[in-house]
Structure 1
Amino acid sequence: MRSIRGFTILEWMLATTIGLFLLAGIFSLYVASRNNTYQLQTYNELQENGRLAMNLLLQDLRQTGFLGDYSGQGLRLNDDVSSMVKLMAGNDCLDERGEHGGTFPSSDADGVLRPFLARHTNHNGVLNADLSCLQHIKLQPDSDVLALKRVIGAPINSPNITLNPLRIYLAGNVNQALFFAGKDSDLLGLVTHLVGAKIWEFQHHVYYVQEVNGIPELRLIQLTDQMRATYSLPLVQGVEKIRVLLAVDDSIPADGITDRYLPPEKISPAIWNTFAITGIRLFLLVRAQERSLGYRNEQIYQLGDLSLPPFNDNYQRLLLQSSVQFRNSHAEITH
């Protein structure tokens, strides 16, 4: 009879060792493929969040200073500009001018409406100048805050006007303007003296970045007749930094040509008041919500004049930038 010979112990050990090497290689390929897929998905998510945040800001910024037929003129309370509504200090967002620098203009010499305002936070998250609605909020360090004022949509020309009682409106023509609350019942009486006036919804938005549960996010404060300034809305998660450089027209008289770019902390109150700002360069740094194992972020990010050293924290990031021209700016204040 023919004997049947099996594997020796040495052959089994060699086969097992080769098999383990093959399994280790296959597993390494699987892990690398899975990490690459995860990093690609994370990057796609960064792009989507970044585009969403950028589009939201650009849509608002492009209309900054649009005040209907009264666009391009400095608003200060006088015989031609009046207001039937005034937010309480705790419900408003006041700048360094105090009660003369809120949602609406005032009659004070320094009380002109600022359609656009930007602030910067230092390494401790402290603003470089006052903005009262953010005093009790832990802001993201080394990031900017944007405050925008404008009217939105098409004018309300219907003879049977129905307004939102929680909103603020602007009625005006090329020579006169009136702010009033949507809850005001005597609407026709308010605008009768404004010949050919159109009515628009007025908005005051404040955008900022705050970290919530370890994730930075873009948030919005929308000031209305009833909404407190301390109430904010989350917009886009992952937005880590906002940085703007402002295009300043120093010419007298203004020629609409940018003479220099300055960060918010170097803009004087006089420039904010005259709104000699022709546009901005906008930078957004977007961060992934979760860490990527094996990913080392050693990149230096340049947000305009702000240079951020490598984070080395395993988070993927994406830098986006765009430019906006302010079409509704004015170079001097009419008295």
Structure 2
Amino acid sequence: MFRPLHQQRGFTLVEIMVAAVIGLMVLAAMTTMFVSNSQSQAEVEKSNRQIENGRYAVQLLSDELRNAGYYGEFDPTVLAKPAALPDPCSVVVADLQAALPLYVQGYDNVAAGQLNCVPDVRQGTDMIVVRHASSCLTSDPDCEVNSAGAPWFQASLCGNLSELGSGSSADFYALGATAADMTRHQRDCTATAGSGTAAVVRYLEIHVYFIANSDNAGDGIPTLKRAEIVNNGGVLSVAIVPLAEGIENVQLEYGLDTNSDGATDAYTPDPASYGGCATAACAINNWTNVVSAKVHVLARNIEPSGGYTDSKSYVLGRNADGTPNVVAASNDHYKRHAFDATVVLTNPAGRKAP
């Protein structure tokens, strides 16, 4: 007798449960892989940003140091050294003039409030002041100087008594905040008032580099910043410019030329105390003998990395007694990397070379 076949109308409960379990296993594996890849990508991005900021900080400081002591057509070796270490925060023109011979001026392991124009400074880091004229002219609309401008500097190229009659180095250049202050001339100057071609005018850049505790108030992101003298319509003031996030420490060693041949004879983190200096005159003399520098930068990630603890210590140059300058392990969850560079201060070294 013929029996009709029963038609299959769906899956059994067991089959559905097995399929669901397999699907959940595949989904869990894919989710785990996705999360892992996302975390890895995030760590790569953090690392890339850290390296980029660290290299940028080193490059910025290195370029600034290479320009130190450049005053266009003017040779600053004719200037008298100041009687005291200049105040980098001063916006008085006479103070800016007195500070010209000190093309670099540093502060080793700064304390809070050491300079009144530098806020939120990270204690135990170094600050450096660099002075130089810009390579471009104020007449150049594409000159890359801060948007508010800077003090103006003009070197005289006159060779006669109409402008240099006193023989004082104060007549060899002009420094001020307005066009009316720029009274120096090219080589065709004459004794007649208003005659001759005006000398070119450059910006005078006075920059104080330091590490701040935060980029924006209270965010806790250590940041390389710069205090700079700006010119707002003839009024000089100090502006703070953030440069690179995640820069946690900067340490500098200065190369001194002790025998006036333009070559480095010794390195020290603090020229003001090198060789047992105990007077302002000794400190100023040492600063005017700086011809090179070693730049040490410690950069960290802006965001912590889960499951990671930084138990490493970092060596950033050497202390005054020659021992390694060790930054102790933070034992936190931020990844770090140290960067180093050695820079020759071309202008001061070249003027001293035989």
Output the TM-score relative to the length of structure 2. Answer: 0.69
3-state SS of the aligned residue for 2:51? Answer: helix
CA-CA distance at 1:44 after TM superposition: 0.8
CA-CA distance at 1:165 after TM superposition: 8.0
CA-CA distance at 1:152 after TM superposition: 1.1
**1:24-173, aligned counterparts within 5 Å?**
24-71=28-75, 73=77, 75-76=79-80, 93=89, 102-105=95-98, 113-121=101-109, 125-126=111-112, 131-134=115-118, 137-154=119-136, 167-173=151-157
Distance of 1:104 and 1:132 partners within structure 2: 20
CA-CA distance at 1:198 after TM superposition: 5.1
CA-CA distance at 1:318 after TM superposition: 2.2
- Alignment gaps of 5+ in structure 1: 79-88, 106-110, 159-163
CA-CA distance at 1:224 after TM superposition: 3.5
Amino acid at match of 2:295: L
**Identity across the alignment (%):** 21
**1:1-335, aligned counterparts within 5 Å?**
24-71=28-75, 73=77, 75-76=79-80, 93=89, 102-105=95-98, 113-121=101-109, 125-126=111-112, 131-134=115-118, 137-154=119-136, 167-173=151-157, 177-185=172-180, 187-188=182-183, 199-210=201-212, 211-212=214-215, 213-225=219-231, 226-229=235-238, 231-251=239-259, 254-264=260-270, 266-267=273-274, 268=277, 269=280, 270-274=282-286, 275-305=288-318, 306-329=325-348
Distance of 2:179 and 2:107 partners within structure 1: 34
Contact kept, 8 Å, 1:73 with 1:330, in 2: the verdict is no
Distance of 2:253 and 2:190 partners within structure 1: 41
Instruction: Kindly provide the CA deviation profile for residues 162-216 of structure 1, in whole angstroms up to 9, marking residues without a partner as x.
Output: xx98632132359763232241426447886899965432121111110232111
Range with bigger deviation, 319-328 or 295-304: 295-304
Q: Find the counterpart in structure 2 of residue 84 from structure 1.
A: none
Instruction: Kindly provide the CA deviation profile for residues 102-161 of structure 1, in whole angstroms up to 9, marking residues without a partner as x.
Output: 4321xxxxx773110111235xx447xx54433xx2211221111011111146799xxx
- Structure possessing the higher radius of gyration over alpha carbons: 2
Aligned residues: 297
Distance of 2:22 and 2:330 partners within structure 1: 41
Q: Find the counterpart in structure 2 of residue 85 from structure 1.
A: none
Output the TM-score relative to the length of structure 1. Answer: 0.72
Range with bigger deviation, 283-292 or 259-268: 259-268
Instruction: Kindly provide the CA deviation profile for residues 306-332 of structure 1, in whole angstroms up to 9, marking residues without a partner as x.
Output: 211222221122221111101222699
Contact kept, 8 Å, 1:239 with 1:287, in 2: the verdict is yes
RMSD of aligned residue pairs (Cα, Å): 4.0
